[in-house]
């Protein structure tokens, strides 16, 4: 008899629903007010957007296998947010150039990560951690701790505000849905996506099957950097401010969102829909703990425990992947 199993993305969504219902039972929750509940749910999804976009890059490098991870993501978010802030300087006409620069700079950092990991055989953990230090140092040297700039009105209107006066859905949510479709198409409907899963499952077999393992791996890190750069652009468009540690709070949750969403940490299996569900779950947990007035240390402990529990539940590490 075939054993019934719930897929990780579905499990994450069920957990999100349960957590949302629990948040309504708290003293400061929404109670039985339907309008407040809808508003709260919309706000949770809006907050999850930025974590979800940044986690897209982690999804790619983790699927690629070989202990893939990107610890430079937090620094890249900060760098690209600052570049966006400085380049735009309050001008609507400079938004597109700033977006292109943010994506290009993120891609460059990712490309360097990929080169070091692929050709110099440096561990992804060490390579991306080292690049994180380099990027953070570059931010300090270039700006001397003083950043002058401003986001454009159109960024606030498109990212932070509702899409229309009578449609209470933030523009960021619409952007995330379109971004999700892009990620689905990339992973499921392109040769690059198929090759990415192949090298994550077994690099020797993939190479024998004609996959260019070297450049697929480099491409994964370059594209991950580009997507993280896009995340930095969205973050500053939402907050309107920048500071040296802007991107660091997204680093661990981005990795956790990928794991909670069901992507195999040893590579070769996963989906971005799962990552989106994972981002919503983690945002809900943070919101729930904030409502309960829990301290930062308790939040970290709960997030870590949730991650371990879900990984154990999914049983994702049963098979060895090369």
Domain presence at residue 77: yes
- Residue range of the domain that includes 57: 8-14+45-312
Query: Using an 8 Å Cβ cutoff, are 72 and 109 in contact?
Result: yes
The model's pTM:
0.87
Domain presence at residue 268: yes
Band (169; pLDDT cuts 50, 70, 90): confident
pLDDT tens across 172-214, in order? Answer: 999 999 999 999 999 999 999 999 999 999 998 999 999 999 9
Separation of CA 158 from chain center: 20
Domain presence at residue 157: yes
| Residue 95, CA distances (Å) to 68, 85, 98, 151, 157 in order | 32, 9, 5, 8, 12
pLDDT tens across 214-229, in order? Answer: 999 999 999 999 999 9
Domain presence at residue 194: yes
Domain presence at residue 199: yes
Backbone angles phi, psi at 53, to 5 degrees: -70, -45
Domain presence at residue 191: yes
Alpha helices for the chain (secondary structure H): 8-24, 34-63, 73-88, 95-119, 124-143, 153-155, 171-188, 191-201, 203-208, 213-239, 251-260, 272-291, 296-314
pLDDT tens across 86-102, in order? Answer: 999 989 999 999 999 99
Q: CA-CA distance, 85 to 266, in Å (whole number)?
A: 37
Query: Using an 8 Å Cβ cutoff, are 216 and 195 in contact?
Result: yes
Q: CA-CA distance, 231 to 103, in Å (whole number)?
A: 9
């Amino acid at each position: 008899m075939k054993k019934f199993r719930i897929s990780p993305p579905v499990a994450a969504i069920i957990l999100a629903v349960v957590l949302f219902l629990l948040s309504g039972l708290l003293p400061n929750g929404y109670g039985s007010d339907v309008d407040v509940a809808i508003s709260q749910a919309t706000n949770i999804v809006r907050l999850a957007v930025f974590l979800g976009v940044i986690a897209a890059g982690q999804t790619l490098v983790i699927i690629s296998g070989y202990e893939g991870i990107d610890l430079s993501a937090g620094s890249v978010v900060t760098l690209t947010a600052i570049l966006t802030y400085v380049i735009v300087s309050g001008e609507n006409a400079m938004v597109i150039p700033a977006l292109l620069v943010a994506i290009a700079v993120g891609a460059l950092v990712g490309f360097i990560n990929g080169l070091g990991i692929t050709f110099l055989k440096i561990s992804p953990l060490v390579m991306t951690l080292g690049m994180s230090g380099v990027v953070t140092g570059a931010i300090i040297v270039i700006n001397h701790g003083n950043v002058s700039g401003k986001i454009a009105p159109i960024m606030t209107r498109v990212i932070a505000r509702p899409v229309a006066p009578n449609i209470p859905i933030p523009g960021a949510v619409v952007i995330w849905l379109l971004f999700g479709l892009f990620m689905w198409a990339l992973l499921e409907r392109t040769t690059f996506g198929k090759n990415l899963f192949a090298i994550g499952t077994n690099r020797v077999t993939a190479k024998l099957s004609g996959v260019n393992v070297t450049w697929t791996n480099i491409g994964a890190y370059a594209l991950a950097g580009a997507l993280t750069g896009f995340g930095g652009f969205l973050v500053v468009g939402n907050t309107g401010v920048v500071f040296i540690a802007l991107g660091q709070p997204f680093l661990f949750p981005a990795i956790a969102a990928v794991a909670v969403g069901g992507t195999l940490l040893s590579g070769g299996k996963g989906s971005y829909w799962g990552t989106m569900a994972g981002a919503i779950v983690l945002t809900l947990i943070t919101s729930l703990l904030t409502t309960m007035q829990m301290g930062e240390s308790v939040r970290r402990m709960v997030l870590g425990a949730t991650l371990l529990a879900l990984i154990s539940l999914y049983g994702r590490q049963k098979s060895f992947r090369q």
